[in-house]
């Protein structure tokens, strides 16, 4: 039992369409994302996934966002890591509205990444990651968590 990590229940992420999530993103960034999706649309659903992955990778590189660290911290938050116990309580209390839900997550991720750049860029990446988590499902996303 030693060394075992006791996780909380996964964070309940609002189940929204991509269009609903993109309403929370800066208009120009949403347009960039939709343009990529249009470009890859001939691939069907895989095209959307490929477009989102391309946007996340290119944007994080361009703005010097440590994508690996971001994915780890977001996974810890979503999958119930004890480091995020207090933040999770805050999300459950105040995060009933989508914009507050996103702002609380953005705030904690900004602090943990020590990212001093454009928060709208980071927000767009986090929103796409939350959308993708919903598509694959929390159970699968948090399965075999190693953080």
Would the pLDDT of 27 be above 90? yes
* pLDDT tens-digit series, residues 39-81: 988 877 788 888 999 999 999 989 888 889 999 999 999 998 9
> Beta-carbon neighbour count of residue 145 at 10 Å?
15
Q: How much is the pTM?
A: 0.86
Instruction: Name the pLDDT band for 3 (thresholds 50, 70, 90).
Output: very low
16-50: b or e for each residue (b if 16 or more CB lie within 10 Å)? bebeebbebbeeebbebbeebbeebeeeeeebbbe
Torsion of CA 101, 73, 15, 11, to 10 degrees: -80
Identify the CA nearest to 10 among candidates 114, 96, 130, 125.
130
Q: How far apart are CA 43 and CA 37, in angstroms?
A: 10
Would the pLDDT of 98 be above 80? yes
* pLDDT tens-digit series, residues 104-141: 898 888 888 877 778 888 999 999 999 999 988 998 99
């Amino acid at each position: 039992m030693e060394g075992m990590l006791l996780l909380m229940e996964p964070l309940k992420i609002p189940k929204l369409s991509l269009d609903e999530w993109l309403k929370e993103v800066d208009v120009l960034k949403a347009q960039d994302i939709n343009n990529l999706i249009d470009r890859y649309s001939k691939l069907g659903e895989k095209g959307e996934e490929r477009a989102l992955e391309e946007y996340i990778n290119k944007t994080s590189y361009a703005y010097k966002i440590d994508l690996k660290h971001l994915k780890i911290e977001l996974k810890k938050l979503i999958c119930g890591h004890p480091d995020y116990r207090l933040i999770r309580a805050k999300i459950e209390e105040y995060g009933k509205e989508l914009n507050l839900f996103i702002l609380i997550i953005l705030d904690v991720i900004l602090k943990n990444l020590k990212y001093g750049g454009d928060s709208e860029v980071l927000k767009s990446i986090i929103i796409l990651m939350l959308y993708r988590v919903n598509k694959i499902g929390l159970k699968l996303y948090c399965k075999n968590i190693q953080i």
